[in-house]
Amino acid sequence: MGTFHQGKHALHGITVVVGTAGDELYVGRCDDVDERLVVLLDVAVHRPEDGEASAWLERAARFGVWPEHRRLAIDRQRVTSIRPLGEISP
């Protein structure tokens, strides 16, 4: 998993889905994960008011996402799950 860049988390370089306690879902390329932050690049966000998360995620799994943020750091305490987008069947 990942490209094993020195000093980076094993998910570095992998497109991941980050679930949060706030119900936002983030899809982006993982730059790093540490005890404080999950840092993503080229990130799209799904918020509860955007509609069905499952449909959004299914389309993301099939085709990818249109990035809204070049770089985004998410407070690790808000993060409930991190998994590769490629593991989700489109």
Partner 1 sequence: MYSPLLVKPMRDELTGIGFRELTTAEEVDQWMAEKEGTALLVINSVCGCAAGMARPGVRLALEHPARPQRLATVFAGQDAEATARARGYFADIPPSSPSMALFKDGELVYFVPRHRIEGRDAEAVAQDLRAAFDQYCA
Size of the site for partner 1 (CB under 8 A): 17
Question: In the window 42-71, what residues touch partner 1 (CB under 8 A)?
Answer: 61-67
**Does 19 contact partner 1 by CB under 8 A?**
no
**Does 81 contact partner 1 by CB under 8 A?**
no
> Which of 9, 15, 56, 72 touches partner 1 (CB under 8 A)?
15
Helix/strand/coil (H/E/C) assignment for every residue in the chain: CCCCCCCCCCCCCCEEEEEECCCCEEEEEEEEECCCEEEEEEEEEECHHHCCHHHHHHHHHHHCCCCCEEEEEEEHHHEEEEEEHHHCCC
**Does 83 contact partner 1 by CB under 8 A?**
no
CB of 27 to partner 1, least distance (A): 9
